[in-house]
Chains A and B, each alone.
Chain A
Amino acid sequence: MTGQTMPIEKSNILLEVRDVAKEFDVSKPWLNRVIERQERQILKAVDGVSFTINRGETLSLVGESGCGKSTVARLVCGLYTPSRGSIHFDGMDMAKAEGDVLRKLRARFQMIFQDPYASLNPRWRVGKIIAEPILVHGLGKPGDALNERVGELLTQVGLSPLDAEKFPHEFSGGQRQRVSIARALSSNPEFLVCDEPTSALDVSVQAQILNLMKDLQREFGLTYLFISHNLAVVSHISNRVGVMYLGRLVEVADTKRIFTMPLHPYTQMLQSAIPDLKMTGKQRTPVAGEVPNPLTPPTGCAFHPRCPHANERCKRERPEMIDHPGGGQVACHGVEEKRINIIKLAA
């Protein structure tokens, strides 16, 4: 499919990520390398990830720090260019879009960031911050209509139109995140990439923001790519969940399946690590070990050094994502060979 051909029938798939990889050169400067006789060091932050997101749904990516989930978010938004693979938005290859097409494309997706203190320019008034996408995409001109639109956006996210005159430092963390959301909504996007939008917030504020995001999704038919390390939040907000480990997706399935019947041993481990707020007295089974250094990932399945079910094949051969009869896809030799007990958890 080329960048310009529009599908005849409007596909239900809004975003398609095909075998995307991103490598960072983290080598020392040339002179140091020569003197210390070191090789170039390549960090494979994302190593061949494929997924699709349907219109109106929320796909979450979960994983521990260093698993590449935030890199995927930035690749989708065009902040990084992929080292390999392609990203298609509404059937258009983003790498091939240029000029006007690209600008129109950019207006259709926006991003919400993690740190409400760093994501708003401290020297800009909130009104200017929210108006920026509108002006950049030519959706309005400075004037009363624009001010009215900014006021409307502020009202939509639960702030007052009068807040447009304030500076970011006059707001609390949760209010700033509302401003971020208002900015993201101002170009009328269909698709929002949310990179840990609530992980810097207190629980009661997190609840406000999650509720707001759900309300907005319903009202505007938004599609979300939601990045988080918090499984409880993910289970609340998403329709489907992808679990990432060391730059690879290990399991993708709808939320219910992931949380009631986790297949991949890593997913099972994450599942058991969720703090038990209901105090059912369930025994935690903490998995030994930590995420290995991504500069020197293990051979075969990256999870095998921590996996209780690993065998010779896991050390040698990298598992591919395959469909599972229970729904979704999983990349695990053990699951494929039916060596791993499937744990069913009560919903």
Chain B
Amino acid sequence: MSSITSLIQGCALTARGGIDMVALVNVVDSFRRFFDGDVWYSFRRNPLVILATLAALVGIIGAAFAPWIAPHNPFDLKTLNLLDAFSPPAWTELGKPQFWLGTDDQGRDVLSTIMHGSRVSLVVGICAVFLSMVVGITLGLISGYVGGSVDAFIMRVADIQLSFPAILIALLIDGVARAVIGKEHHDQVAVYVLIFAIAASGWVQYARTVRGSTLVERNKEYVQAAQVIGRRSLAIMFSHVLPNVMGPVFVLATLHVGTAIITEATLSFLGVGVPPTQPSLGTLIRVGNDFLFSGEWWITVFPGLALVILVLSINIIGDWLRDALNPKLR
């Protein structure tokens, strides 16, 4: 575990300060220890996790480079031809070879829309997770380290938050945003509202996890040593306690990315997510759903399949990470 953190710290160091020899040595050292370590060993011995990682990587790379590697540009109206609409996957009798997974009602290539759609889904998922991580970790650290009435207040807020289903909170925030911003501008900020809505429902679990670990770490002697030295509470919290409570957070975050993507898809499916002009996987599934009973199954099944594979592989990686980092199960 420490190897991963120091790996990240080491990388951050080199990125900031140009080529610093000490940092470079540390990075090399970190890599060596990472590949020498138990986590890498457990990874190598676990074919399912390797498969999941490959699937997730394919998905992420496909999404990240969609504008460059997608076979068609589904949003360029000039390239669209309504005559291509509803053509089935390429391997079927009526399929056209240039559209591997067929096309939708407007003649857009399904594979290309999936790649662009995953891009939106991943961006929303990762950003939402990052935002709730920052909020949750900060509040959890303060709660656990300061204690007393501050702790009680933050944790009661968290309890209240937890008693509402995540979807409900997201719907609420989205609804409020629509009312405040107005329909015409809403499409431009829809993605940000979505990120905020998902993050608002997700920070609690980070806060709780971090608070729990902070309560343990706070009483350890290295924290007392820092207090004797005379470091300020804030400095102790972030430079001493934080690196030691990040382990469970990484696991949580990985699993949360999967959940966030599903939440985004659900919201988009319900019609309160991103607009159809910039579709996410959820929007694609909703649009395709209308044609499911008229026989054009591929329009909704392939985006659905992509969603399942992406989320499943992320969850497998998260589960494995949890076990690999847990010294008791090693």
Contacts and interface: CB of A to CB of B under 8 A. Distances in A.
Given A119-B221, A119-B224, 20 more contacts: A78-B227, A79-B224, A106-B230, A107-B230, A110-B228, A111-B225, A113-B221, A113-B225, A118-B221, A119-B220, A121-B240, A122-B2, A122-B222, A123-B243, A124-B243, A132-B226, A132-B229, A136-B231, A137-B229, A165-B29
Interface string B240-270: 1001100000000000000000000000000
Interface residues of A, number: 31
B6 interface: yes
Interface in B201-229: 220-222, 224-229
B5 interface: yes
Interface string A278-322: 000000000000000000000000000000000000000000000
Contacts of A136: 229-231
Contacts of A180: 225
Interface string A102-115: 11001101110111
Contacts of B243: 121, 123-124
A74 B231 CA distance: 16
Given A122-B2, A123-B2, A169-B2, A187 B228 contact: no
Contacts, number: 64
A136 B29 CA distance: 28
10 contacts: A79-B224, A79-B227, A79-B228, A121-B243, A122-B2, A123-B243, A123-B244, A124-B243, A136-B229, A180-B225
Contacts of A171: none
Interface in B230-244: 230-231, 240, 243-244
Contacts of A242: none
A133 interface: yes
A167 B222 contact: no
Interface size range of chain B in the complex = 20 to 34
A333 interface: no
Interface in A120-168: 120-124, 132-133, 136-137, 165, 167
A187 B224 contact: no
A178 interface: no
The 8 closest A-B pairs by CB, nearest first: A119-B221, A123-B243, A113-B221, A106-B230, A121-B222, A118-B220, A118-B221, A111-B228
Contacts of A132: 226, 229, 231
A119 B243 CA distance: 15
Contact of B244 (A78, A121, A133, A137): A121
A106 B221 contact: no
Contacts of A114: 221
A121 B221 CA distance: 9
Given A114-B221, A169-B2, A122 B228 contact: no
B244 A113 contact: no
Interface string B30-41: 000000000000
Contact of B222 (A79, A102, A119, A187): A119
Interface in A80-107: 102-103, 106-107
Contacts of B231: 132, 136
B228 A123 contact: no
A118 B5 CA distance: 19
Contacts of A233: none
A123 B5 contact: yes
Nearest to B240: A121
Interface in B6-28: 6, 25-26
Nearest to B246: A123
A264 interface: no
B80 to A, nearest CB: 54
Contact of A118 (B222, B227, B240): B222
B228 A77 contact: yes
Nearest to B2: A123
A248 interface: no
B244 A122 contact: yes
A132 B236 CA distance: 11
A193 to B, nearest CB: 8
A69 interface: no
A31 B324 CA distance: 41
A22 interface: no
A112 B220 CA distance: 13
Nearest to B229: A133
B29 to A, nearest CB: 8
B154 to A, nearest CB: 17
Contact of B228 (A78, A102, A121, A169): A78
A44 interface: no
A149 to B, nearest CB: 16
A183 interface: yes
B4 to A, nearest CB: 11
A167 B9 CA distance: 14
